[in-house]
Structure 1
Amino acid sequence: MEEFDAIIIGTGQAGPPLAANLAKNGFRTAIIEKSHLGGTCVNDGCTPTKAYVASARRIFAAGNSEEHGVVLEGELRVDLKKIKTRKDELVQESRSGLEKMFADTENITLIRGEATFIDEHTLQVGEKEYRAGKIYINVGGRPRIPDDFKEVEHLTNDSILELEEIPEHLIIVGGGYVGLEFGQMFRRFGSRVTILERGEQLLEKEDEDIAEEIAAIFKDSGIEVKLKSNCISAVRSGNAITVKYDCEENREDITGSHLLLATGRISNTEDLGLERAGVKLDDKGYIVVNEKLQTSVPHIWAMGDCNGEGAFTHTAYNDFQIVNSHLFEKRKRFLSDRFTCYAAFIDPPLARVGLNGNDIKEQGIKAKVAIMPMNKIARAKEKGETARKLKIFIENNTNKILGATFLGTGADEYIHTIIDQMYAGASYEIIRDAVHIHPTVSELLPTMLGDLKEF
């Protein structure tokens, strides 16, 4: 048995920076990885998908610039193999960077293999055992595959990135962020795309008006969206796949060339042997943690997607910051300090922080709202990207920002103006009275906050 001061399971966004800080502070640290270094973000999440989104955006701009006075003559051709090669190079660069960091850092040992708990201090990897006083779980998540689809050939957010030929007709089951991002990018690559969503709207957590705007964007781009479509099963026959689904009380079939399952994600916790360590899970298989991200066993922590407290790269990194603060910093961070924020990298992007209209109604909060259509913003007009709108919610009693939902060009960047004000605990009047640069989209944030309406 080999002894360490600390062991980290998984090399996602929280694991490597924690390993580096533990090692820097004299902790003999092991980090265990059963697959590629970097976790979901590097290998089949942010890095590869945003590379594809960038290619899809170039294709869209090239084919839709005539109104700007740019006329493309000749054939516009998409080379998916080249897009994939560029993506693979970006992914490998990140993997290699992590491997070099582990190799070059004193007090870090990289162990390859799958870890399982023997007891609350001991892990087995292959035929070897490793023991530590502190253990950090950073094992991430994976796509959830419904039982009725496990035996049929299908794609996930991982395997679809390995295609080298553009699907003729891509059927996507699931109208969340993964389904929408892949749906739009492959439509722009040239595929016919159908999205089946069992709920009453796309992006079920968003306000109805925002979901309707997104559905309109997709329908305008030639993507077929079928809501209230509960998929039952799928059958492969030769080069075609047929999905059976219930739609508005009628059972229907749709046939395409490829099937992408975008039906949510689950935690990678079932093979860790957590019961032997006494680590508790919730009813969805996520590791239960406290404000410091400690599990039910005080010397074991859970960070990233496996704890069910964020499921984003930025929240996983913040998990590292929380744990690190209690190890080495004077100022302590806690899970409750965090405002939920995220983006869907469709075009135009959706960006969100804090509460939306649905949340405010459910909680009975008295609030005001500021709304600005994108077609009222000079910079959006100049760019020729006037689709959709911005919404900011203000609490009546405190004048603090409750949240914002932006759907429009550049929204994933200027949402941070709102995020920073919320962390500062400042009144919305700070932004209202600020002077922003013209011509930008964000210059209209002060203007819209000068025209609040009762919500």
Structure 2
Amino acid sequence: MKHYDAIIIGFGKGGKTLAGDLAKRGKKVALIEKSNQMYGGTCINEGCIPSKSLIVQAGTKEYQAAVEQKENLITKLRQKNYDKLAQLDNVDIIDGTARFIDNHTVEINGKDNISADYIFINTGSKSVIPAIKGIHETKHIYTSDKMMKETKLPQHLAIIGGGYIGLEFASMYARYGSHVTVFEFNERLVGREDEDVALEIQHILENQGVHFKFSSRVQEVSNQGEKVVIQYNQDHVGYIDRFDAVLLATGRVANTADLGLENTDVQVDQRGNVIVNDYLQTDVPHIYAMGDVKGGLQFTYISLDDYRIVKDHLFGNKTRTIHNRGHIPYSVFISPTFSRVGLSEQEAIAQGYDVKVAKLPTAAIPRANVDGKPEGILKAIIDTKTDAILGCVLLCEHSEEMINFVQLAMNQNLKYQDIGNHIFTHPSMSEALNDLFNI
């Protein structure tokens, strides 16, 4: 049985970065990936990059051509990720399914065993398949990764789930020309956001042609010819609609079911997430978990920061933890992009802060009008006692770039006046922060 310094299960952001780092330190590493179509991880192959490629091309390119360009892009990136590690003498890239035999041993493809001093679980997450009658037997029902591989644009698309992923796809497919209907179980969109922001998002998407069915629960799906028949209840009344395709956007769950963790002392929670401590160690100190598989925020940049925590714990001064990352921003790539960092207004009030709220319509930004993108709203939450920035929402073009500036200011404990008085270039979207924070 071959022994390594480290086994890394999964070729995601945290795992691949750690593999390269360990190899350069002279450590012998086995990097196990179950599919040669997943080198680089979910972000490159099935998540962030392909979806953003399609989003960027929406409205400017025919759908089939956009899918082909997306496939060319991720094929190139996948190969670059493989080559970057394969050229290292200390890294063995192993194609296969990994399963734990015990706390030190991993079986590959049910036959070959390898062992290591350290093992890192980086297997990511997968789409949740909801318990809907007929869901497994019905054709033309897709998860997000499968949907993006389809080269035919559905004329009528149903999306089950009005969360962030569902909204990204709703906005994107509507701009390609699909008639999109979103089935949302709750009474409004994105419940963790303030109601005024959620309503603004809803109105923008409705203007793009997206139709929402709130307080709806899909009961059954079936096929009628090439159509998908959806039976659902809305406000306790039964309805039937027909679509060309259905996208499941009902959340994601950790990829742990087939890892054989029952053969180890590693513990998982009720959702299957690997339980870790502040340093990403499991209950077995030499086994760590990184990225989506441990639950929490599911972003590729969190997986990268997990690598930094592990590196510091193994080779540094052990000061980095999951609790001192600072404020973490996120962006939802509807059109225009929705970005947020920190607390919402409702969260700040619930935590006992005395707040003042600043709002700015995107239409008031000169650059937004130059670009012909006036939709949206900007919102800041300020602590009246300390002038600290508690949170910020940016619903405007290029907000995915702007939010990082606000995050940096918050992490450096700057006051809102520091942004309000900052000198920005003109005409730019960022200069809108002058007006937003000029309270």
TM-score strictly above 0.5: yes
Give, in whole Å, the separation in 1 of the partners of 2:153 and 2:314: 49
1:387 aligned residue: 375
Q: Could you tell me how far 1:205 is from its partner in structure 2?
A: 1.7
Matched, 1:100 2:87: no
Give, in whole Å, the separation in 1 of the partners of 2:282 and 2:386: 35
Give, in whole Å, the separation in 2 of the partners of 1:29 and 1:397: 52
1:211 aligned residue: 198
Normalised by the length of structure 2, the TM-score is: 0.95
Instruction: Work out the percentage of aligned pairs sharing the same amino acid.
Output: 38
Q: Map Cα deviations across residues 168-202 of structure 1 (whole Å, 9 max, x no partner).
A: 21111011122111112212222111111111112
2:286 aligned residue: 299
Comparing 344-353 with 270-279, greater Cα deviation is found at: 270-279
Give, in whole Å, the separation in 2 of the partners of 1:337 and 1:367: 24
CA contact (8 A) 1:121 1:131 kept: yes
Give, in whole Å, the separation in 1 of the partners of 2:194 and 2:59: 26
Give, in whole Å, the separation in 2 of the partners of 1:57 and 1:430: 38
Matched, 1:266 2:253: yes
Among 360, 366, 388, the alignment partner of 1:372 is 360
Gap regions ≥5 residues in structure 2: none
1:84 aligned residue: 67
Task: Report the AA paired with residue 131 of structure 1.
Answer: S
Comparing 222-231 with 363-372, greater Cα deviation is found at: 363-372
Give, in whole Å, the separation in 1 of the partners of 2:44 and 2:310: 22
Task: Report the AA paired with residue 115 of structure 2.
Answer: R
- Structure 1 counterpart SS, 2:60: helix
Q: Could you tell me how far 1:152 is from its partner in structure 2?
A: 2.3
Q: Could you tell me how far 1:310 is from its partner in structure 2?
A: 1.5
CA contact (8 A) 2:380 2:392 kept: yes
Matched, 1:109 2:86: no
Matched, 1:137 2:121: yes
Q: Map Cα deviations across residues 149-176 of structure 1 (whole Å, 9 max, x no partner).
A: 2332311111111111111211110111
Give, in whole Å, the separation in 2 of the partners of 1:97 and 1:369: 46
CA contact (8 A) 2:160 2:247 kept: yes
- Structure 2 counterpart SS, 1:162: coil
CA contact (8 A) 1:218 1:225 kept: no
Q: Could you tell me how far 1:297 is from its partner in structure 2?
A: 1.2
Task: Report the AA paired with residue 405 of structure 1.
Answer: V
Give, in whole Å, the separation in 2 of the partners of 1:417 and 1:312: 19
Q: Could you tell me how far 1:57 is from its partner in structure 2?
A: 4.3
1:164 aligned residue: 151
- Structure 2 counterpart SS, 1:336: coil
Task: Report the AA paired with residue 287 of structure 1.
Answer: V
**Aligned positions of 1:279-290 closer than 5 A:** 279-290=266-277
Give, in whole Å, the separation in 1 of the partners of 2:329 and 2:137: 36
Among 329, 335, 339, the alignment partner of 2:316 is 329
1:275 aligned residue: 262
CA spacing shift, 1:360–1:346, aligned 2, 3 Å: same
Give, in whole Å, the separation in 1 of the partners of 2:189 and 2:59: 21
CA contact (8 A) 1:394 1:402 kept: yes
1:74 aligned residue: none
Comparing 26-35 with 359-368, greater Cα deviation is found at: 359-368
CA contact (8 A) 2:147 2:247 kept: yes
2:6 aligned residue: 6
Q: Map Cα deviations across residues 116-145 of structure 1 (whole Å, 9 max, x no partner).
A: 111111100021111111110000001100
Q: Could you tell me how far 1:316 is from its partner in structure 2?
A: 1.1
Give, in whole Å, the separation in 2 of the partners of 1:285 and 1:150: 22
Comparing 414-423 with 394-403, greater Cα deviation is found at: 394-403
Task: Report the AA paired with residue 125 of structure 1.
Answer: I
CA spacing shift, 1:308–1:216, aligned 2, 3 Å: same
Q: Could you tell me how far 1:331 is from its partner in structure 2?
A: 7.2
Q: Could you tell me how far 1:10 is from its partner in structure 2?
A: 0.1
Give, in whole Å, the separation in 2 of the partners of 1:169 and 1:207: 30
1:151 aligned residue: 137
Q: Over the residues paired in the alignment, what is the CA RMSD in angstroms?
A: 1.4
Q: Map Cα deviations across residues 23-75 of structure 1 (whole Å, 9 max, x no partner).
A: 1111111110001212210111011111100110425xxxxxxxxxxxxxxxx
2:244 aligned residue: 257
Give, in whole Å, the separation in 2 of the partners of 1:42 and 1:379: 31
Task: Report the AA paired with residue 422 of structure 1.
Answer: M
Give, in whole Å, the separation in 2 of the partners of 1:445 and 1:164: 40
Task: Report the AA paired with residue 150 of structure 1.
Answer: H
1:344 aligned residue: 332
Task: Report the AA paired with residue 132 of structure 1.
Answer: A
Give, in whole Å, the separation in 2 of the partners of 1:352 and 1:106: 42
Normalised by the length of structure 1, the TM-score is: 0.92
Comparing 103-112 with 147-156, greater Cα deviation is found at: 147-156
Among 418, 439, 443, the alignment partner of 2:406 is 418
1:180 aligned residue: 167
Task: Report the AA paired with residue 19 of structure 2.
Answer: A
Matched, 1:26 2:26: yes
Give, in whole Å, the separation in 1 of the partners of 2:13 and 2:232: 37
Give, in whole Å, the separation in 2 of the partners of 1:398 and 1:300: 42
Matched, 1:353 2:366: no
1:65 aligned residue: none
1:119 aligned residue: 102
